[in-house]
Structure 1
Amino acid sequence: MDSTVSLEKSDDRFATVRAVPLPSSGASEEGGYCARSKPKRGAAFWLIFSAASTSVFLSALDASCVSTALPRIVADLDGEASFAWVGSAYTLASAAWLPLSGALAGTFGRQPIMILALSLFFLGSILCGEAINMNMLIAGRTVQGLGGGGILAMTEIIIADLVPLKERGLFMGITSLVWALAAAIGPPMGGALSQNVTWRWLFRINLPLTFIAICLVLAFLKLKVPSGSIMQKLRRIDWLGNALIAVSTCAATIALTRGGVEASWTAAQTLVPLILGLLGIIVFFVVEATCVAEPTIPFDLLSNRTSVAGFLTTFFHSVVATAIIFYMPVFFQACFGASPIQAGVDTFGLAFTIAPAALVGGVSAVLTKRYVPQNWIGWILLTIGTGILSLLRVDTPTASWVGFEILTAVGLGLIWTSVKFPILAPLPVSRNASAMALFTFSRTFAQTFGITIGSAILQNELMTRLPTAFLTLFPGGVDVSFGAIPYIPTLPSPIRDQVQDAFADSLSILWKVMLAFCFLGLLTSLMMREIELHEETDENWDLSASETEIEMKPHVRTPSSEAVETTPLTPLENDFDQGVIIIGPMYPYDQERSL
């Protein structure tokens, strides 16, 4: 054996192990894992990072440009009754296959799955750009969602492969800046194209960008490839678990999207799929923890409270962020009478503040070797910002609403990057792909909640607040939150004022509901503990020998006595600093390690 491991029996259930990272280039005997420290970053690294950043830009641009153009899309395709599916279909498809994308990346390698994701996004963009009715557009958004979710998951996984956690703050900040650039130009671009040309170019413009991304990935993303035949690789995938999470996610999302619009929240067609979907997700995690040899979501990802807090924080943060980003343009168009272009410009306070705050969150975690304060401060600011958004009215001065946006965006940005540290710090680097797949799933699944909860609140509140004479313009089952916007400028003064006030009051309720999610996020952040950041990467997936095959062995939960070379264990005041791992029934890897 090429490393020294110290073993000390503490009782019949737990053993304490000190492992020294191997300097060799080969995989270790335990599950094919080996760590390398301080990887060199040459041209290959930067070209791969450029390909990943281009993919992030592509996905973020598509997500941000649709909201300002949605009223025009709804009007052109007569989609008042199903507009919510334009956003929900995308997030539903993304969330449903995200866990599988992580498993496929570990089985077939990073490059093929990234190419698959970009190709699906390309095909979905064609379908959306040439849609002749709402059903075709929703189908295209579904295919786009499969690609977009894969793009985000693979980007997170690839960066985690190549950059140690201790140095990753800067690179997370750079990708956040790329995302913010796309988020900043997306809304005004969506408004300009839909208003002056055609909304179809929102999707057609993706085609050359996707082609460039595919070329970059093909040319430069040449990482190692797992060994074995296709059939051997297919047998390693947890198909049952992936089918269960996909079906459960779809059921819950369909119920959330239909509730309050196509059917009441108390109707069986809403409650049954919602309950079954949520129960299915719970069953999925139970099955993964007890019945699957190589699970899609290894249970040890959730075996410590800091990682659990990180995943929960990710979920709550994404619900709030999606609702704010998606529905702030609605406020500007409905309450201020802004054009799609102006509504996009009015969101600059969010777009141009989130990125610098995200950069500060990531870099400060690296410089201070602390990530808990950033999460706490971020949630405090986001809670205050979301609360004051509920004060927005038709006559709110420009300086006030811009200030509200900036304060809220600082909180959003700080959490955006700093939440990844508590997820990854307690886990071994060999779990990067699974952890990032679950992280992206949590974020994407939460986006569905953000959109659908917002839609349900606006629909229900507007139906009780809008003037009866105005509501008669819309047949039953139509969501008026977007369908009503194109009609507002044409209304006579008294009714227009009443409609705008109704939108402001309804959105105020939405922000108050989001405030509850902020409090939940703040509470979960209090569960986090400071864990030392990793200084190494997983040699199975770094650039040490690109384009070579690696032997992927089943993960071993506890080391066998034959594989352990024992030496006396020196008592430590702080075991974590020396790489101590607690092996046991509930903590197969790292137990919580407090600085």
Structure 2
Amino acid sequence: MALERPPTLRNLSIPESSILPKGELDEPEDKSAVLAVDLTNPFAAAAPNQHNPFANRGRQFWLVYLALCMSSFLSALDLTAVSTALPSMAAEFQSSEFSWVGSAYALTSTALIPWTGNLASIFGRRSTLLGSLVLFAVGSALVGSARSMTMVIAGRSIQGVGGGGILTMTEIVVVDLVPLADRGTFFGVIGSVWAVASAIGPPIGGALASAGAWRWLFYMNIPLAGIAFVLVLCFLRIKAPKTTLKEKLEQMDYLNVIFVIGATSTIVGLTWGGVAHPWISYQVLVPLILGFTIMGVFLWLEKAYVKHPTIPFDILSHRTSLLGFATTFLHGIVSLAAVYYLTVFFQAAKGASPVQAGIDTFSLSFTVAPLSIITGVVIGYQGIYKAWNMIGWGLTTLGFGITSLMRYDCSKAASIGLPILMGLGLGILYSSTNFPVLAPLKASQQPHAMAFFSFMRAFGEVFGISIGATILQNSLAADLPKEFLAKFNGEAEIAFSAIPNIVELAEPLRSQVREAFASSLRVIWLTMVFISGVGFILSLFIQDIKLTTETDERWGMSDDRSVPKAVLDEEQK
């Protein structure tokens, strides 16, 4: 039933802006799905969710959810902890290719995410998640036992395939088991798990590296992945459409190999640009041009010829979903730039050790975690998400602006306290950005949309690191004292190779170098202010659409205990 609007202007249905292009799915089929929003109180829901999202969920659901949280924790911990262990790894193998340890993981995890979603639809959620856990564990074992940097890079590539699959499958399984109206709470918890793992990752990596035990950073993944594997194997009994092997193979999108090649080439160019090679060099331009061209050809072939495309073109025609994907990409940029380069600030500008730098970023990470949970719970209860996206982007924009005030000689309290506002905004966005993507869609479209959501976020994270690295490299080349630059003989990766040398410098050179780093990082923060501002503007055109209480029955738990009884009763009516 449509919500009644009083004769005053106090409650208005907010339409989407006509300046954006219209698509086939612009208007929701159910006109009552467009919520009436109280303009005097943007947080007031028209029809709050009345049932407890945690109620009536059986033991099977909670054990599966524990496995999902554990898997996300593993992936996030490994992604962030490696950064502080890299110097020890490079020193042991006496290799200059240490930058590929991080790049190889990002490359494979991002490029293969869309295909992971395709495999999950064909071969089932459990098989795909189990395969991802196995690949992650195998990659961890290879890196832990590596005898050369080549073996480390190969292991990290395999880890990336598994890690990307874990993140994608975690979100798809939650979509399968929990209706959108309740999903914010569960995504909020997973987002907080990610934030906590990201916070403790650098100190753990630095501590193990300092003790000469960096290999245990990877070995410890194996038993934890094993526990998650057993839980998924025993308890994730999700229904799936019954098809023969021949039918499964016929549904495979083999053209996706073209996309993987294009995405890989693009990510290589982004990773090298401004760091390993100048942006105008052929080493960067060739893979970038080739990658974007190949991905463009792939999109054309997918739309024209593929019956079961990997890229969900049908869901991209709704403006709110399209805006959701765009803001997810921007959130990927700013969130990883915040975590990655705040650590650089503490090490380079404040002289902190890798372990201490990781601890100093707790003010950011442990702000993100609770806000992620709170936002998910509140959105689930109120049923609106536009206001929370606007507030999230507003706080993030303001937070980056305040963070840009940090100097190399600012107080400890200032350097730890100023990024908190940024953390508040990022925490809200961790839980709120998926709702605009999913709310306009049918339950059967949402798992496919989540796979593309994961890809856009991961692709944005690659951009975030690349943009920051380029700014840092170019700014340092202009700001660092000439006598300090002379020590590196034009080395491409001066931004990161210079940090360990700062502590050995005599005054006043040491302070000059730290000031140069702080000034260069300020340019990154201001760039993120602009990107966050774009996110805020886009969020203005998002439409609040009623959050459904349905899930795709083809993929539910076999005993139906994953869905609260109140929802089942409502659906049966």
TM-score, structure 1 as length reference: 0.82
- Alpha-carbon distance in structure 2 between the residues aligned to 1:126 and 1:176: 27
Matched, 1:297 2:311: yes
* 1:547-571 deviation digits (Å, cap 9, x = unpaired): xxxxxxxxxxxxxxxxxxxxxxxxx
- Alpha-carbon distance in structure 1 between the residues aligned to 2:273 and 2:510: 28
C-alpha RMSD of the superposition: 2.4
In the other structure, the counterpart of 1:188 is: 203
In the other structure, the counterpart of 1:230 is: 245
Q: CA deviation at 1:378?
A: 0.5
In the other structure, the counterpart of 1:95 is: 110
- Alpha-carbon distance in structure 2 between the residues aligned to 1:389 and 1:363: 28
Matched, 1:360 2:380: no
Q: CA deviation at 1:261?
A: 3.4
In the other structure, the counterpart of 2:421 is: 407
Q: Which amino acid aligns with 1:431?
A: Q
Most deviating of 255-264 and 187-196: 255-264
Q: Which amino acid aligns with 2:241?
A: P
- Alpha-carbon distance in structure 1 between the residues aligned to 2:492 and 2:282: 20
For the 8 Å contact 1:88–1:452, the answer to whether it is kept is no
* 1:494-544 deviation digits (Å, cap 9, x = unpaired): 222222112111111222222222122122212210010010111100014
- Alpha-carbon distance in structure 2 between the residues aligned to 1:408 and 1:461: 23
Q: CA deviation at 1:177?
A: 2.5
SS at structure 2 position matched to 1:536: coil
SS at structure 1 position matched to 2:444: helix
1:75-224, aligned counterparts within 5 Å? 75-80=91-96, 82-224=97-239
* 1:290-335 deviation digits (Å, cap 9, x = unpaired): 3221111221110111000110101001111111111211111111
Q: Which amino acid aligns with 2:378?
A: S
For the 8 Å contact 2:238–2:558, the answer to whether it is kept is no
- Alpha-carbon distance in structure 1 between the residues aligned to 2:150 and 2:501: 23
Gaps of 5+ in 2: 1-23, 32-52, 561-570
- Alpha-carbon distance in structure 2 between the residues aligned to 1:63 and 1:287: 33
Q: CA deviation at 1:40?
A: 5.3
In the other structure, the counterpart of 1:247 is: 261
In the other structure, the counterpart of 2:6 is: none
Identity of aligned residues (%): 48
In the other structure, the counterpart of 1:372 is: 386
SS at structure 2 position matched to 1:276: helix
Most deviating of 485-494 and 432-441: 485-494
**Among 269, 281, 304, the residue aligned to 2:283:** 269
- Alpha-carbon distance in structure 1 between the residues aligned to 2:324 and 2:249: 31
For the 8 Å contact 2:402–2:419, the answer to whether it is kept is no
Q: Which amino acid aligns with 2:57?
A: R
Relative contact order, higher structure (CA 8 A, sep 6+) = 1
In the other structure, the counterpart of 1:569 is: none
1:180-579, aligned counterparts within 5 Å? 180-240=195-255, 242-545=256-559
* 1:71-123 deviation digits (Å, cap 9, x = unpaired): 4434444455x443332221211111111111110101111111111111111
For the 8 Å contact 1:335–1:503, the answer to whether it is kept is yes
- Alpha-carbon distance in structure 1 between the residues aligned to 2:93 and 2:511: 28
- Alpha-carbon distance in structure 2 between the residues aligned to 1:409 and 1:286: 39
- Alpha-carbon distance in structure 2 between the residues aligned to 1:305 and 1:87: 35
- Alpha-carbon distance in structure 1 between the residues aligned to 2:543 and 2:336: 27
Residue 375 to residue 282, structure 1, CA distance change in 2 (3 Å): farther
In the other structure, the counterpart of 2:78 is: 62
Q: Which amino acid aligns with 1:462?
A: L
Count how many residue pairs are aligned between Structure 1 and Structure 2: 516
Q: CA deviation at 1:460?
A: 2.1
SS at structure 2 position matched to 1:264: coil
Most deviating of 511-520 and 113-122: 511-520
- Alpha-carbon distance in structure 2 between the residues aligned to 1:543 and 1:222: 6
In the other structure, the counterpart of 2:59 is: 43
Q: Which amino acid aligns with 2:422?
A: T
Gaps of 5+ in 1: 1-12, 20-37, 547-578, 580-595
* 1:250-285 deviation digits (Å, cap 9, x = unpaired): 111111122223432112332232123223333433
- Alpha-carbon distance in structure 1 between the residues aligned to 2:358 and 2:455: 28
* 1:447-505 deviation digits (Å, cap 9, x = unpaired): 11112222222222222322333333334444122212222212222222222112111
- Alpha-carbon distance in structure 2 between the residues aligned to 1:77 and 1:515: 39
- Alpha-carbon distance in structure 2 between the residues aligned to 1:187 and 1:351: 12
- Alpha-carbon distance in structure 2 between the residues aligned to 1:403 and 1:504: 16
TM superposition outliers: structure 1 runs of 4+ over 4 Å: 13-19
For the 8 Å contact 1:55–1:151, the answer to whether it is kept is yes
